[in-house]
Structures are given as structure tokens and as C-alpha cells.
Structure 1
């Protein structure tokens, strides 16, 4: 039978244990990071996501007193391989993922079964950048100087062949949004990479392509391709002379991708808050913003809560688009 003194001792022991655990947790947060942090990227070196991840890694390392931050490229399956590995990682802040729109907001609608749960397996930390697109055409093949003229031109052709940088990507679903505007069902022509898609544009095999502003800018500035409009909420700093879709009277063609840092679910709230603050500081620094804009991105650096809302809203938006196309990746 427990006596009052025995109960008191048990309660005191429990309180001491809880205090010890709490102190240990605080000390662990204070010493973070004390070994290299890994950022998994689901795309090859040299691509847009890789450029973003490496800039974030460099800035975080500098902010953490030179602690190593490693970018680990795990390309394949439109980023699903990288997302799956990150979802299984220990929730200790030492494995992060540079997520993108397709992984968390589009994949739930295009795949009947995913190797991870986009809603439950990740803790959003901060959206890093927004990535707008440009509608590119070959001026030697297409008689149009703006979106309205392009719509009239494709209606005369009685067909709309659009290159994409892969089935199930924003370029793919952007083609369907353009088809709605032109009142023509598009014929997506899927290429493995954006470079391959641009090759189809040069050869005249396709009429147009939605390519990221970062990849579009050099092609446009060289005069090889023409940008009819950009899809962002404002003109792209890399293509300031190109009007947005909204400016041209096509608000339904306003869409963007994003890249952001997420951690495995069950990452302690205190550590997640620390990571979010550090990523925001890294991205919003003037030098970092300038480099990201030079690469064709819109630097954002949101709070974790804002990023949660962005992911959820895009899941609804793109879910409707995917449903309208009837597309399934599996």
C-alpha cells in the first residue's frame, strides 16, 4: 500500500525526470547544429531547384558559424524519390528537403498511391522562392507577338501542340489552362527536360512551351525565342519588358511554382521554429535576394505557418486543374 510519503517521493522523482528531459531538449536546441545538415534535392545538379538549395545551404552555413550544410541530389520520379527519403529521415533537423509544388500540392491528385503522405509526413519550415513561367514561342515559326495574337493563331491552326518538361508538371497543366483560354484541347508533347522541350520549339515540332523565367531569360535576350507573357503576379525582374498574363487580360493564366524547405514530421516545434527563422534570415538578406532574382526567382522566405497555407491552397487549386484534365500518373 502506498503511503503519503511514498507518493510524494514518486511525484518528486517524476517532476525531476520531466525537468531533466526538458533541460536536455533545450540544451539540444541551443547546440543545434553540431554536425553537418543535409538538404535533399529531387533534381540534378545545375537545375533551378539545385541552385536554390545551394544558395540556402551557403547562407545557413554562414549563419551557423561555418557548420557544414550539404546538398544531396537525389533525382528521379519527378522528385518522389527525394521526398520519400526525407519522409523517412529522423526528425532531428539534420535532414531537410527542398520541396516543390509538384511533390506536395500536385502529386496527391496525379497519383493514386504515393510512397509518402504529403500532409502528414512533413513539417513545412519556410517557402524559399516563387518561380514564374514564360510562354515561349519560336518567332520564326509562330506569327504572334502577344498572347491574344497567339490564341488567334492557334485557332487558325486548329490545334495547339505544347511542349512540357514532363507529364504531371506545371508546364503540362499550364498547357491545359492555355487550351481553355484558346478553347482548343491541347496536345501535350512530353520531353524529359526543359532543354529538350526547347529543342522541340526550335525545330517547330511544337507551338509553345511554359518554361521557367530563369531558363527563358537567356533564350529571349539572345533573340532566339520570344516570350509572349509571364505567369507571375508581377513582371519578372529577369524579363521586365514582358507583360504578365493578367496585364494582357488573361488572369486564369496566372500561376507559379515554389520551392521551400520542409523537415520530417515530428520535428520538435522549437527546432522547426529555429529553422524557419534561420531560413527566412538567409533568404531575405539583400545579397541572397539579388542572387535569387538574378537566377529568375522571386525570393520569399515565409514563416512556417504561411507555408502551410500556401501548400494547402495550391493542393486545392491544382487538384481542380488535374481533375479537369483527367490525368493520372499511375
Structure 2
């Protein structure tokens, strides 16, 4: 995913310089940020940190409303159908809901491109390819060689149709290995399976797997982000290892119902970018394993379109059957 760092820095800098008068048109009623993840998860933390940063701009109040279930579809559908379109109901969405879902679900109860308007990209999470410590491999090339000698490579995922699932399938195609995806209900369950030796690899978020790697309970063979991960020093990126197609991240962003007037969306965008530029917020996100990647609505809309096309090709190539 091309993060266009120069454009993002410019967007943040511009937002930071906007006058306080720009808040005048913001909603004067409590704002609800809906997200399709349970309380206590990484995305929940992202939503609460953002809400905290926006409290000065929105003195009427901000509520983070957790609506988990159905891979985030419940939350997305609720926001897509919400009324009135006055900017008081927003969705903190992610790549699955906003770019993968049109290809992975046969009957999607909303259309990301039609029902939502981009407000701002917020942050990304990168992954690491990890394997059990007892596996006789030291790098990605050795792992591929070892896997080709097996009947199949059993890889854990944190759900069918998730980024970890598609990354595993893409790895199999890239190195010529038959991958059998073993789906678990959560990232924690997939991690436990790897620690117990019940699967032979997985793509896990760096924040989750890094402590296990550091303790010697896992081996990290590669990271999927655009740069080395500070938590995993010495681990190369997929691009450095000749597997640029496996350079993937799970991104998060704020969207509004499509009917919200453009001038109001622009005011919300400015407030969000200003909040995301706060050094303390950025530091707390980094400590939680996020890579702050704030960008305005034009860039975020372009990212959503590009990623929707990219994941449609991945879904077709992997042969994943659309979920009913």
C-alpha cells in the first residue's frame, strides 16, 4: 500500500494551521463514532484516543459506540442507513469493511463507495509472518523450501476473509506452496494455536506477536509494512525479500454517511486531522502498535478505491468463495 508520506505530512501540517473558527459548523449535538470491534481491542483504543482528541472541537460530547459482529458489517450498515445526515453518526471503519467486503460477501447490506463519504484516514497496522520456534527454518526462503516438502502448509488466521487469511493465501501463491487456512474466532485464538504448535505459521499484527518473538516463543520471518518494525529489529520487509505483493497493512479511517453535506464533512475532516497531529496522540498510537498515517478525505477516498480494486483481484486469485 502506497502511503504517500509527503502528502500525509502536508495534510497534517495544513490541518494544524487551520484557525479555530473552522469549528463553527461542526455538529452542536453529541457525536457518535461507531466501530465494529469489541471494547478493549486495538481499534477500540484508536477510536477512544481520537474521541479524546476531538473533545475540545466537539464540546457537545463524543460517544464511542461498539457494535461488534459479522466482521464489522453490523456497524457499517447502521452508519450507512443512519439519519439525519447531520454529521453526528460516523463510522471508524477498516480495510475489511470498506475495501474487502464488496468482494468477500455475496450480499453486502451496504455499498462502501455509494453509502459513505471519506473523512480521513487515521492509522495502519502492519503484520509479521511468524512461525513456531521449533520449525527448522531461519528465513523466508528456508520456510518456503521446507513448506514445499510438506503435503500442505497449515496457517492460522483470525477469521475467514480477514487480511491474515488473504495474506496466507497470497504467500502460498507467491512461493508455490499449498496453504490450508485454519480459521479461528479471534487473533488470540490463532496466536494460541501457533504457540501450541497446532499451525505452522500465521500473519499476526506486529503489536500482538512481537512480545512472543522477543521471548523466543515464535520466530518472525518478515514484516509486511513499508519499513522495518522497531519492535522486531533485524526482521526484513516482504519487499526487501522480493515479495512486494505481500506488502499489506490493515488501515483504519473515518467515514460519514454519503448524504452528509460536503462543507460539514470538510469541517469534520479538519478537526480530525488536527487531533491526529497531536504528538501525544501519535505517540500513544505508536506504543499500541499503530502506524499513524493520517490523510485527508481526498487521499482517503483514493485509497479506498485503489484498495477495493486490489482486494477484488486478490479474492478472485485466491478462489475464496463469497460469504453468504
Counterpart CA distance in 2 for 1:48 and 1:123 is: 24
Distance verdict in 2 for CA 1:240–1:273, change over 3 Å = farther
Cα drift, residue 162 of structure 1: 0.7
Larger radius of gyration: 1
Indicate which of 244, 258, 262 corresponds to 1:265.
Answer: 258
For the 8 Å contact 1:236–1:296, the answer to whether it is kept is: no
In the alignment, which of 259, 267, 273 is matched to residue 280 of structure 1? 273
**Structure 2: how far apart are the matches of 1:154 and 1:263?**
44
Q: What's the TM-score, normalizing by structure 1? A: 0.88
Map of 2:43 onto structure 1: 49
Contact 1:41 1:82 in 2 (8 A): yes
CA drift of 1:31 comes to 5.1
TM-score with structure 2 length normalisation?
0.89
Gaps of 5+ in 1: 1-26
Q: Hey, what does 1:201 align to over in structure 2?
A: 194
CA displacement at 1:181 relative to structure 2: 2.0
Q: Secondary structure at the match of 1:45?
A: coil
Q: Does 1:253 align with 2:267?
A: no
In structure 2, what is the Cα distance between the partners aligned to 1:258 and 1:240?
23
What stretches of structure 1 move > 6 A for 4+ residues in a row? none
Q: Which residue of 1 aligns with 2:216?
A: 223
Partner of 1:192: 185
Native 8 Å contact 2:94 2:250 kept in 1: yes
Deviations, residues 273-319 of structure 1 (Å, cap 9, x unaligned): 11111111111221111111111111011010000000000011110
Distance across 2 between alignment mates of 1:112 and 1:71 = 29
Q: Which deviations, in whole Å up to 9, do the C-alpha atoms of 1:35-54 show, x marking residues without a partner? A: 32111010111112111111
Q: Deviations over 1:115-161 (max 9, x none)?
A: 11111110110010011111111112x11222112111111223211
Give 1:158's match in structure 2, choosing from 117, 128, 151: 151
User: 1:251: Cα distance to partner?
Assistant: 1.2
**What number of residue pairs does the alignment pair up?**
302
Can you give the 5+ residue segments of structure 2 that lack an aligned partner in the other structure?
1-20
Q: CA RMSD in A?
A: 1.7
Q: Indicate the structure whose relative CO is greater, using CA pairs within 8 Å and at least 6 residues apart.
A: 2
Q: Which residue of structure 2 aligns with residue 143 of structure 1? A: 136
Task: Please state whether the residue corresponding to 1:232 is helix, strand or coil.
Answer: coil
